[in-house]
Structure 1
Amino acid sequence: MRLIPFLWMVATALGSSSAMAGELFGAGVISTGMQETSATFTPDGNTVYFMRSDFAERDDTIMLSHRQQGRWSPAEVASFSGQWHDSEPALSPDGKRLFFVSNRPVKPGDKPLVAEMMGQKFAGKNLWYVERQANGSWGQPMHVDGAHNDGVMLYSPSVAANGDVYFSAHRPDSGKAYQIYVIHKTATGYSAPEQVTLGDTDHNRMDPCIDPDGRFILYAGNEGDSIGGPDIYIAFRQANGAWGKPERLKGDANSTSLDIAPSLGRSFGELYVSSSRLEEVNFPKTPDTAATLAKRMQEPLNGSRNIWKVDIADTLRAHGIDR
């Protein structure tokens, strides 16, 4: 559980309904009646890792599914997950490392990490990774040591081709909520975290997704023009290296429901977002039985977050990016 997204989710559920937009990803297999978010793909696009959790996000697990003959296989628990509160997987562009966050103790035998904010306690998160072995399996989880893990509220890693890791966190310079940070790969590990300058810290910014070449960054937030709680924004790198003014994505990426956790697919313009978009219920409805009611409420579009596939190619081309 992350406190700020949970509050967003409640506000959205109370205040809006949503129209369908985009393509529901892996309906019934990947996107289900539970919470799913943070899709990340192997370089060939044929294996997806994602997070699945209960409605309250008390129990997060990293899952995977394979594309077989045009269909996604039944999801299974990743080899390195299933025991701790693991979430938000992110593969490096070359597919050799998978970063994630977890409440697992840094030292074996210690207690799980716990975070506290606004008087509420929830699972704390540090940054970890697993490395691809010669036989194709994943190695043992490795803790990413460094100052970025101070405060145990680090979320949503995203990896650039040069090894830089972007993430969202609540830190002393974050203001009231969360901001986006980057750590740079060095010869001995990673640099101290630097806040990514996207505007004043009055606005909550989470779930960064960095373009592998660093040309643009996507994230979930509200820069004052959101239409449904958090929306997905994009900022482009300027000639001087600074980030341009964030723009709310147009088109199917956003809805009047909660839209978070953007991640890039392996094809140009392919974007995946986690959204609580609902299927509209019209009254009077076809009379339900206990069985039909239970079935419908356990399927996608029941108010849980599902993964949606959208296309942002036109937005990228408008800014001179065509591959």
Structure 2
Amino acid sequence: MMFARRAPALLSLAALAGCTAAAESPVPATATLWTPAAISGPGYESSPTFTPDGRTMIYLAADKDFRNYRLMQSQCENGAWGKPVPPRFAMPLPVIEADPFVTSDGERLYYISSRHAPAKEDFDIWYVERIAGGGWGEPQRLPEPVNSPAAELLPRTDAAGRLYFGSSRAGSAGGGDIYVATEVRPGEWTVANLGPPVSAGAYEYEAEISRDGKTMITVSDRGDRSHLYRYRREGERWVEAGRIPADPAQFQVGPLLSPKSDRLLFAQRHGELSGEMFLIDLVPEPDRSWPPTCGDQAAL
């Protein structure tokens, strides 16, 4: 998702959408439409996350112009994804919320919200924790320096608990960079810009990290529109491994790696359906048990 609606920079809607004709361009055969029928609609569905048991999906829903972000939740019941509803902790519009992420142990859910300053549409990172009975507790805002006066986007953690996110804060090159935050003691965080080649002067604003911290997928606008780029960790440095072969005529957002980093979900415009979730394999023979199908979708 992009900065402050996601702006000051959904660039402009016309530029990002690429025009109606571009929306009809074919999706490469390597990317498969995945959005479950129960949640697919005329607006955008993006940035899904799943509980470890695969029975709850929380995602970003927006209107067809990729505005008015809100969190929605669908439960796997009786072999099908159910009608989506807002999670209990979510705020209604005009507060805008997006980019949910359930940690691998299922004990914390990060997301971004403007609830602290709805009029400014400034996204900060918030979280909720599991409570007795299986629900979520009250929302908590992460402190500075994780949050800043600028927007923070797509919070994601690796197995070591490091928190990766995009931010347009002061000092970011190209209008947005990728940062990593480490909690050195309870409630006290340090934050560092990942630097080149991940933060390399283009407009980088989302980063998905694998559980082992060795694979990263970023969303970066390098001059035409936002696309997905893959990096691998080699020792102490990141090395770019090429662009994900999604539709070049559309912008992509909301990447989510499978637990084994062998498959990737993301969202892009899809004709009259606006934005939908797509699935792409990153290796020749991936584990096809992910994403969770809930029984109403054939495994792709």
After TM superposition, the score normalised by the length of structure 2 is 0.83
The reply on whether 1:260 has 2:271 as its aligned counterpart is: no
Aligned length: 275
Q: Conserved in 2, the CA contact under 8 Å of 1:43 and 1:266?
A: no
Say if 1:210 and 1:268 are closer, same or farther in 2 by CA, change over 3 A: closer
- What is the rounded CA distance, in whole Å, between the counterparts of 2:192 and 2:205 in structure 1? 15
Distance 1:257 1:56, change over 3 A: closer
The Cα offsets for residues 282-319 of structure 1, whole Å up to 9 and x where unpaired, read as: xxxxxxxxxxxxxxxxxxx43x21111222124999xx
Equivalent position to 2:32, from 2, 23, 35: 23
Q: Distance in 2 between matches of 1:269 and 1:5?
A: 31
What do you get for the CA RMSD once the two structures are aligned? 2.5
Asked whether 1:178 is paired with 2:176, we answer: yes
Q: Distance in 1 between matches of 2:48 and 2:238?
A: 25
8 Å contact 2:27–2:247 — kept in the other structure? no
* Runs of 5+ unmatched residues, structure 2: 288-300
Residues 41, 265 of structure 1: 8 Å contact kept: no
Asked whether the 8 Å contact 1:18–1:255 carries over to 2, the reply is: no
**More displaced, 170-179 or 1-10?**
1-10
Question: How many angstroms apart in 2 are the aligned matches of 1:247 and 1:4?
Answer: 28
Q: Equivalents in 2 of 1:51, 1:132: separation in Å?
A: 20
- Structure 1 residues 113 and 236, CA, compared in 2 at 3 Å: closer, same or farther? farther
Identity of aligned residues (%): 24
Deviation at 1:213, TM superposition (A): 0.9
Aligned counterpart, 2:52: 43
Q: Out of 88, 97, 112, which is 1:86 matched to?
A: 97
Structure number having the greater helix percentage: 1
Name the counterpart of 1:138: 136
Which piece of structure 1 moves more, 8-17 or 30-39? 8-17
With normalisation by structure 1, the TM-score equals 0.77
* Matched ranges for 1:106-117 at <5 A: 111-112=117-118, 114=120
Match of 1:212 in 2: 211
Read off the aligned partner of 1:256 and give its amino acid letter: A
Q: Is residue 2:268 matched to residue 1:275?
A: yes
- The answer (yes or no) to whether the contact 1:8–1:229 under 8 Å persists in 2 is no
* Residues 152 and 313 (structure 1), Cα distance of their counterparts in 2 relative to 1, 3 Å cut: same
Higher strand share: 2
Give distance in 1, aligned partners of 2:128 and 2:284: 35
Match for residue 305 of structure 1 among 269, 275, 286: 275
Equivalent position of 1:10 in the other structure: 14
TM-fit CA distance, 1:125: 0.9
- In 2: Cα distance, 1:267 partner to 1:52 partner: 26
Equivalent pair of 1:31/1:306 in contact (CA under 8 Å): yes
Structure 1 pair 18/79, CA: closer, same or farther in 2 (3 Å)?
A: same
Which region of structure 1 is more displaced relative to structure 2, 306-315 or 89-98?
306-315
> Aligned-pair distance for 1:4?
6.0
Residues 87-118 of structure 1, C-alpha deviations (whole Å, 9 max, x = no match): 1101111111000011112xxxxx5361xxxx
Q: How does 1:117-156 map to 2 (within 5 A)?
A: 123-156=121-154
Query: How far is the alpha carbon of 1:277 from its aligned partner?
Result: 2.7
Task: Provide the residue aligned with 1:68 in structure 2.
Answer: 77
SS at structure 2 position matched to 1:64: strand
Shift of 1:56: 4.3
- What CA distance in whole angstroms lies between the structure 2 residues aligned with 1:214 and 1:266? 11
Deviation larger for 22-31 or 200-209:
22-31
Query: Hey, what does 2:164 align to over in structure 1?
Result: 166
Amino acid at match of 2:6: R
Cα distance change on mapping 1:235 and 1:4 into 2, 3 Å: farther
Q: Secondary structure at the match of 2:59?
A: strand
Greater Rg, structure 1 or structure 2? 1
Query: SS of the residue aligned with 1:176?
Result: helix
The answer to whether the 8 A contact 1:24-1:306 is kept is yes
Query: Hey, what's the Cα distance between the residues in 1 that align with 2:109 and 2:46?
Result: 16
In structure 2, relative to structure 1, the CA distance for the partners of 1:315 and 1:178 (3 Å cut) is farther
Q: Structure 2 CA distance, aligned partners of 1:27 and 1:7?
A: 29
Gaps of 5+ in 1: 106-110, 115-122, 279-300, 318-323
- Which piece of structure 1 moves more, 60-69 or 35-44? 60-69
